[in-house]
Amino acid sequence: MTIRYTVDFKNGRVELSHGAGGRSMAQLITELFAAAFDNPYLAQGNDGTLLPPASGRLVMSTDSHVVSPLFFAGGDIGCLSVHGTINDVAMMGAVPLYLSAAFILEEGFLLSELKRIVLSMAQAAVDAGVPIVTGDTKVVEQGKGDGVFITTTCVGVVADGINLSGDQARHGDKILLSGSIGDHGMAVLSMRENLSFDAPIVSDTAALHTLVAAMLASGVNLRVLRDPTRGGLATTVNEIAQQSAVGMLLDEAAIVVHESVAAACEFLGLDPLYIANEGKLIAICAPGDAAHLLAVMRAHPQAREAAVIGEVREDAHHFVQMTTKLGGRRMVDWLAGEQLPRIC
Amino acid sequence: MKYVDEFRDGQLARRIASGIVREVSAGHRYRLMEFCGGHTHAISRYGLADLLPDNVRLIHGPGCPVCVLPIGRVNQAISLAKEHKVILCTYADTMRIPASGGLTLMRARAGGADVRMIYSTQDALQIARDNPLRQVVFFAIGFETTTPPTAVAIRQADAEGLKNFSILCNHVLTPAAMHAILTTGVGLDGFIGPAHVSTVIGSQPYEIFAGEYAKPVVIAGFEPLDVLQAILMLIRQINAGQATVENEFTRAVTREGNLKAQALVEVVFEVRDDFEWRGLGSLPDSALKLKAHYAQYDAELKFPVAYVAVPDHKACECAAILRGEKMPQQCKIFGTVCTPENPIGSCMVSSEGACAAHYSYGRFREVRP
């Protein structure tokens, strides 16, 4: 079959008709989305996608992406929307199987940029081995959106015996972090604020399911997995402390912050503990398993800088505290107010 | 990070801390006020109080621009945006200060007022250039550190003939507040002097506090080691019965300060007869206003927004906390009704405020697990 190119991906822009259900929408779907995401499920071409029976409990998660700017060092809204949702499923200890993608496009948005984003999504999905099996496109009038918003949903399956949950941290458990913090948020922000550094800040956006698979395969007693995205490490550990009704004590010296991220935070008056990550995870395990788990994590390319960053303690107030590099003690509180809008 | 990590070195910190332990005399109490919110924040964030002996007490001072701004001033800003339909440009910290009628600038914005967060006075000027048909007002707040950039903006607006730009001036003076603190009768043994403010005004203006009030002053940088070193220097002075102005922050502060910035401020501003501070009341010669030559850039003259004093919330102890008379945790509504998510008083708003710093970093100290 020869493909007839009727959509102008070089100079064209999104028009209201691209979301109207008529021929131009069909063309956009065929020439862009179907071509890029190409897989047998999507090719069914029906209102819904028929999927084979899955063995095990299903996990499902959905996430909307509104990051600004759309393109940043290390990624773009496209791959971010694939990674973010896969990670949410992976944090349940599940194997991600299928993705859906819904686009809200703004009239006037450059089709060349849309294509770049869609191709980036397609590549991220292929790399992760998770096909995009269904999707939707809507167009809003100029001024009613901001280029493109993407909502993805991921379905995965979790094996029997794996029961990860934020409410399972117990007194004495160790808290591990898979690598440096603040990279994604500061990559986006430095792009937005036109800050440049000798060593550019690159987003850590990545799908973490193979790291999670390796951790689960190690046989350690994992209790909690969570990715510290919006609100950063501080917010995520507080969520877990609240859910498990425990306190925590972190060690500031063990938390890796890359120099350019630290410098950018310093410059903008931000605390890296509250900056979003898109390719990191927090793991909580039984104390006796920490050394083995750490070794397994460090053997994986996505967690070379993994470290034990603290431990779970009894605390009726569910406070997260931290021993500072100076040797003092401080709280690591919930984020107050909005720190950085539209980071993912 | 070069030039930063050196001032956050844990080993060095412990060495200075043990120096402090060696230096203090057991029977003596050392009550040291860190004037600046920047110091308050550093002390809380790095947990410095844990490194000090029990008889060295740090008292938080009023050097937080957002904290000392009285409600009436925020009301004026809200009125400019809401009733007078100006584009109100402001630094982010002021957005959440509680004003009358349950309003904040943030809520006024959600209600349709045009309030814009800016990082620099240059942003406000650009907004004025880009919106020639709108009136643009910059909500100018801060101590001597933020005054020179406002002066630059006024001079630029004047040179360009920008008729739609003006400022709501709330620039205040550090030495005036220190005078006020010393006359309220709070027992103090010395001051950790401001870092950034002193880069502008120099160390000379503090000499009167060492001379007339016999209180040692050590100007310190905002890094944790700066603060520890300043505490050690203050303790040595107190033990020796001395009261002089010492400069720990020699990498940035001179006795004269930044003469160019001072000259610029001198050209544009003059001292107001009096100005109301939250907590310290109405203080003579404690704030600045635009000189007559620049009157057309004064939003208080350009728009009918007279200042009306409004009392603080009845249960709020911000006033006593700003005077150093009370600790945040001594306020009945601290951490219960008043939290960073729902601040009742200004000290809970800015991260430099004593209440916000204690709530975010230190409140675990009051409870035992």
What residue in A sits closest to B363 (Cα-Cα)? A331
Among the partner residues B45, B47, B341, nearest to A336 by beta-carbon distance:
B341
Which one, of B221, B218, B235, B239, lies nearest residue B17 by Cα?
A: B235
Q: Residue A19 has what pLDDT?
A: 86
The answer to whether position B217 is within a domain reads: yes
Name every chain A residue with its beta carbon within 8 A of the beta carbon of B363: 331
Q: Residue B172 has what pLDDT?
A: 97
Q: Whole domain around residue B233: which residue ranges?
A: 1-363
Q: Residue A238 has what pLDDT?
A: 98
The answer to whether position B369 is within a domain reads: no
Q: Do B45 and A336 touch (CB under 8 A)?
A: no
**What 3 state SS string does chain A have?**
CCCCCCCCCCCCECCHHHHCCCHHHHHHHHHHHHHHHCCCCHHHCCCCCCCCCCCCEEEEEEEEECCCCCEECCEEHHHHHHHHHHHHHHCCCCEEEEEEEEEEEECCCEHHHHHHHHHHHHHHHHHHCCCEEEEEEEEECCCCCCCEEEEEEEEEEECCCCCCCCCCCCCCCEEEECCCCCHHHHHHHHHHCCCCCCCCCCCCCCCCHHHHHHHHHCCCCEEEEECCCCCHHHHHHHHHHHHHCCEEEEEHHHCCCCHHHHHHHHHHCCCHHHCCCCCCCEEEECHHHHHHHHHHHHCCHHHCCCEEEEEEECCCCCCEEEECCCCCEEECCCCCCCCCCCCC
Q: Residue B369 has what pLDDT?
A: 41
What residue in A sits closest to B9 (Cα-Cα)? A326
- Number of domains composing chain B: 1
A299-302 long-range contacts, CB within 8 A, separation 24+: A299/A214, A300/A210, A300/A211, A300/A214, A302/A178, A302/A179, A302/A206, A302/A208, A302/A210, A302/A211
Digit-by-digit pLDDT tens for chain A (344 residues) are 555 557 899 999 999 989 888 888 899 999 999 999 999 999 998 999 999 999 899 999 999 999 999 999 999 999 999 999 999 999 999 999 999 999 999 999 999 999 999 999 999 999 999 999 999 999 999 999 999 999 999 999 999 999 999 999 999 999 999 999 999 999 999 888 787 777 789 999 999 999 999 999 999 999 999 999 999 999 999 999 999 999 999 999 999 999 999 988 988 888 999 999 999 999 999 999 999 999 999 999 999 999 999 999 999 999 999 999 999 999 999 987 666 667 77
What residue in B sits closest to A260 (Cα-Cα)? B1
Distance (Å) from the alpha carbon of A325 to chain B's nearest alpha carbon: 5
Q: Do B10 and A325 touch (CB under 8 A)?
A: yes
Distance (Å) from the alpha carbon of B362 to chain A's nearest alpha carbon: 6
Distance (Å) from the alpha carbon of A281 to chain B's nearest alpha carbon: 24
The model's pTM: 0.88
**Local mean pLDDT, 10-residue blocks, chain B (369 residues):** 82 94 94 95 93 95 93 97 98 92 95 95 97 98 96 98 98 96 89 96 97 96 96 97 96 96 98 94 96 98 96 92 92 94 90 92 78
Among the partner residues A319, A323, A326, nearest to B364 by beta-carbon distance:
A319
Contact pairs from chain A to chain B, CB under 8 Å: 73
Distance (Å) from the alpha carbon of A250 to chain B's nearest alpha carbon: 13
The answer to whether position B368 is within a domain reads: no
Q: Residue B185 has what pLDDT?
A: 74
Domains of chain A: 16-158 (3.30.1330.10), 174-331 (3.90.650.10)
The answer to whether position B157 is within a domain reads: yes
What residue in B sits closest to A271 (Cα-Cα)? B45
Write the ipTM.
Answer: 0.81
Q: Tell me, what CATH number does B142's domain have?
A: 3.40.50.11740
The answer to whether position B262 is within a domain reads: yes
Q: Residue B70 has what pLDDT?
A: 94
Testing the interface with A: which of B50, B107, B231, B351 to mutate, by most A Cβ within 10 A? Answer: B50
The answer to whether position B174 is within a domain reads: yes
**What residues contact A115, with CB distance under 8 A and at least 6 apart?**
A9, A32
The answer to whether position B191 is within a domain reads: yes
